[in-house]
Amino acid sequence: NAGVTQTPKFQVLKTGQSMTLQCAQDMNHNSMYWYRQDPGMGLRLIYYSASEGTTDKGEVPNGYNVSRLNKREFSLRLESAAPSQTSVYFCATRGRGGGQPQHFGDGTRLSIL
């Protein structure tokens, strides 16, 4: 059982380039999330999807777009990368029902020069 799989693990981009971060889960969870993690800032929610076909903005959505392709996959796209988007990106999932925790992927380390 892979759980939550993120690709790629590392990426270096130039300013202005575009990039899609992929997230896939085999946990049959309805909800999926994208976070960015920066030193001193903790985790900040970019976008989330409560179910297939729905997406909602989180705390820091500007500069990003998402697609919930199906129940398993939730992608994050940077249309025109900026140095301020250098960060570690985490995908997470959550099952339905009270008391359910989030499960995280290994993260994607993205550097934008």
Question: Residues in the site for another protein, rule: CB under 8 A?
Answer: 31, 33, 40-43, 45, 48, 50, 58, 90, 92, 94, 98-99, 101-107
Q: Residue 69 CB, nearest distance to another protein (Å)?
A: 18
The Cβ of residue 27 has, within 10 Å, a number of other Cβ atoms equal to 15
Q: Residue 84 CB, nearest distance to another protein (Å)?
A: 19
Residue 23 tokens, joined: 């997230």
Q: Please identify, using beta-carbon distances, which residue of 75 and 107 lies nearer to another protein.
A: 107
Q: Please identify, using beta-carbon distances, which residue of 58 and 63 lies nearer to another protein.
A: 58
Number of H helices, E strands in the chain: 0, 11
Q: Please identify, using beta-carbon distances, which residue of 71 and 94 lies nearer to another protein.
A: 94
Residue 92 tokens, joined: 């997470």
Q: Please identify, using beta-carbon distances, which residue of 19 and 45 lies nearer to another protein.
A: 45
What secondary structure letter does DSSP report for 41?
T
Cα separation, 7 vs 22, in Å, equals: 5
